[in-house]
C-alpha cells in the first residue's frame, strides 16, 4: 500500500470513527436528559436565591418548574441583590444544608467575577447555540438569561408626534419633555441610556468614543431645552413633568400596564443605538443539588421557560431565534414593540461598560452641566 493509500485509509477510518462518536454523543445526549431528570428527582430539591415572584414573572416560573418535575424549591431571600448571591455561595462552600444556593441570577458584572473566583460550575444547556456569543462564557460558566433595552415611554396625551430614534429627541416639539430614569453620575440605567445615545451616533466606536458621543448628545439636548434634569418615573410621566421617559423597556411596559390607559402611553425601541442590559445565570460550584440545578437551567432555557420570562416583559435571551422560528404567541407579541427592533440589540461587554461608565460619570458635570435630581 502506498503512502497515499495509507493516509486515505487512515482518514476514512478517522471519519468513520468521528461519525460513530457523534452518533453516540447524540444518543447519549437524548438519554442524558432522562438521566438528568431522574437524578434531579432523586435529589428532590432546588435552592434558589434572590428571585422575587413579581420580577420577570418568576412566580409563574417557579410554579411551572415544580409542577413539571415534582421538585421542592427552597427560596432564599427573594429580595437579595447580586452581591448577596455571590456571598451566599462563598459562605456555604462546605455546607449542603438549606442555606446553600444551587443557582444564581445576577447582573452581568457578577458572572465573570464569580467564574474567575471558581464559584461557578460550567454547564451548557441544550439550547446553548441560540444564546448570543457576546452574552455567554465560552466554557458555560455563566450565560445571559434575559435582558432589557433602553426605550422611550411617551405620554401620548401630551406628545402627538412620537419620537422613533435618538436624533428625533432634538425636535423643538419636545421642549422640556425628555428625562432619564436616574442620575447619570450614579444610576446604571441612566449611564446605559447615555451610552445608547452615543452608540446611535458612533455604532463602531470604542467604548470611550461612544460614551463621549452620548455625553455630546445630552449636552445638545440640554442646550436645546428639551432635557428635564429630574429623575423620571411613572408618576412624573403621567403628570406631564417628563412626558418622554428613557428607561428599560421592561420597566416601561410594566409602567404602561400600571397606568391602564390613563394616560395612554407608547413604548418605543429606537431605530438605532439599541443597548441591551443583560442578567446572567450560573450554577454554584458547591451546589448541594447539582442535577436539580442543571434541570432548572434546562427549564429556564426551554421554549416554555423563555416565554414565561417574556410574559413578565423580560426579553429572554433566545428571543430573536424564537421569533424567527415563529415560537412566540401573537397575543404576547402584540403587547411588545415590534420583534424586529430587538434584532438590533447590542450587548456591551463588561470591559466596555466599565470604560463607558468611567467616562460618563467622570465627565457628565463638565460636558452636560445638568444636575439631575
> Domain check: are 155 and 271 in the same one?
yes
CB atoms within 10 A of CB 9: 11
DSSP for residue 275 = B
What pTM was computed for the model?
0.81
> Domain check: are 241 and 107 in the same one?
no
> Domain check: are 177 and 318 in the same one?
no
User: Is residue 301 included in any domain, yes or no?
Assistant: yes
> Domain check: are 165 and 217 in the same one?
yes
DSSP bridge partners of 238: none
> Domain check: are 121 and 196 in the same one?
no
Q: State phi, psi for 224 to the nearest 5 degrees.
A: -75, -10
Closest to 294 in 3D by CA, of 71, 137, 138, 52: 71
CB 256 within 8 A of CB 313: no
User: Is residue 66 included in any domain, yes or no?
Assistant: yes
> Domain check: are 343 and 248 in the same one?
yes
User: Is residue 23 included in any domain, yes or no?
Assistant: no
> Domain check: are 84 and 129 in the same one?
yes
CATH number of the domain to which 361 belongs: 3.40.190.10
CB 110 within 8 A of CB 301: no
User: Is residue 153 included in any domain, yes or no?
Assistant: yes
> Domain check: are 235 and 192 in the same one?
yes
The tens place of each residue's pLDDT in the chain, 373 residues long, gives: 433 333 333 333 333 333 333 333 333 334 489 999 999 999 999 999 999 998 899 999 999 999 999 999 999 999 898 999 999 999 999 899 999 999 999 989 899 999 999 999 999 999 999 999 989 999 999 999 999 999 999 999 999 999 999 999 999 999 999 999 999 998 889 999 999 999 999 999 999 999 999 999 999 999 999 999 999 999 999 999 999 999 999 999 999 999 999 999 999 999 999 999 999 999 999 999 999 999 999 999 999 999 999 999 999 999 999 999 999 999 999 999 998 999 899 999 889 999 999 999 999 999 999 999 9
User: Is residue 5 included in any domain, yes or no?
Assistant: no
Q: Containing domain of residue 160, as a range?
A: 148-275+338-367
User: Is residue 1 included in any domain, yes or no?
Assistant: no
> Domain check: are 133 and 226 in the same one?
no
Number of domains comprising the chain: 2
User: Is residue 25 included in any domain, yes or no?
Assistant: no
> Domain check: are 268 and 173 in the same one?
yes
Percentages of the chain per state (helix, strand, coil), in multiples of 5 = 50, 15, 35
DSSP for residue 136 = B
Q: Cα 372 to the chain's mean position, in Å?
A: 26
- Nine-digit cell string for 130: 441560540
CB atoms within 10 A of CB 317: 29
> Domain check: are 75 and 207 in the same one?
no
> Domain check: are 133 and 202 in the same one?
no
Beta-sheet strands, E only, within the chain: 45-49, 72-76, 103-107, 120-121, 143-155, 178-180, 227-231, 244-248, 265-268, 276-284, 315-316
Amino acid at each position: 500500500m502506498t503512502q497515499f493509500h495509507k493516509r486515505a485509509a487512515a482518514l476514512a477510518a478517522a471519519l468513520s470513527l468521528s461519525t460513530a462518536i457523534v452518533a453516540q454523543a447524540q444518543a447519549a445526549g437524548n438519554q442524558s436528559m432522562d438521566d438528568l431528570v431522574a437524578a434531579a428527582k432523586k435529589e428532590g430539591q432546588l435552592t434558589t436565591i434572590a428571585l422575587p415572584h413579581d420580577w420577570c414573572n418568576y412566580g409563574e416560573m417557579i410554579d411551572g418548574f415544580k409542577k413539571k418535575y415534582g421538585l421542592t424549591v427552597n427560596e432564599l431571600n427573594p429580595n437579595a441583590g447580586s452581591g448577596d448571591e455571590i456571598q451566599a455561595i462563598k459562605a456555604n462552600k462546605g455546607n449542603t444544608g438549606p442555606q446553600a444556593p444551587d443557582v444564581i441570577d445576577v447582573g452581568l458584572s457578577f458572572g465573570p467575577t464569580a467564574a474567575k473566583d471558581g464559584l461557578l460550575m460550567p454547564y451548557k444547556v441544550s439550547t446553548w447555540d441560540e444564546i448570543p456569543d457576546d452574552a455567554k462564557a465560552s466554557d458555560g460558566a455563566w450565560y445571559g438569561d434575559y435582558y432589557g433595552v433602553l426605550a422611550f415611554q411617551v405620554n401620548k396625551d401630551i406628545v402627538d408626534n412620537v419620537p422613533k430614534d435618538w436624533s428625533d429627541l432634538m425636535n423643538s416639539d419636545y421642549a422640556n419633555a425628555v428625562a432619564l430614569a436616574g442620575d447619570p453620575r450614579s444610576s446604571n440605567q441612566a449611564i446605559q441610556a447615555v451610552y445608547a445615545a452615543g452608540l446611535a451616533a458612533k455604532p463602531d466606536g470604542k467604548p470611550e468614543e461612544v460614551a463621549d458621543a452620548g455625553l455630546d448628545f445630552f449636552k445638545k439636548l440640554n442646550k436645546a431645552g428639551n432635557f428635564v434634569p429630574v429623575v423620571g418615573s411613572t408618576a412624573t410621566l403621567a403628570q406631564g413633568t417628563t412626558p418622554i421617559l428613557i428607561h428599560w423597556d421592561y420597566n416601561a411596559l410594566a409602567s404602561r400596564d400600571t397606568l391602564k390607559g390613563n394616560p395612554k402611553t407608547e413604548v418605543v425601541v429606537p431605530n438605532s443605538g439599541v443597548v441591551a442590559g443583560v442578567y446572567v445565570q450560573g450554577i454554584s460550584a458547591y451546589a448541594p443539588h447539582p442535577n436539580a440545578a442543571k434541570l432548572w437551567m434546562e427549564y429556564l432555557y426551554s421554549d416554555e421557560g423563555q416565554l414565561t420570562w417574556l410574559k413578565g416583559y423580560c426579553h429572554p435571551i433566545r428571543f430573536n431565534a424564537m421569533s424567527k422560528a415563529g415560537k412566540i404567541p401573537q397575543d404576547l407579541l402584540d403587547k411588545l414593540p415590534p420583534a424586529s427592533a430587538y434584532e438590533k440589540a447590542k450587548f456591551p461587554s463588561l470591559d466596555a461598560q466599565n470604560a463607558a461608565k468611567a467616562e460618563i460619570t467622570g465627565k457628565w458635570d463638565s460636558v452636560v452641566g445638568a444636575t439631575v435630581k
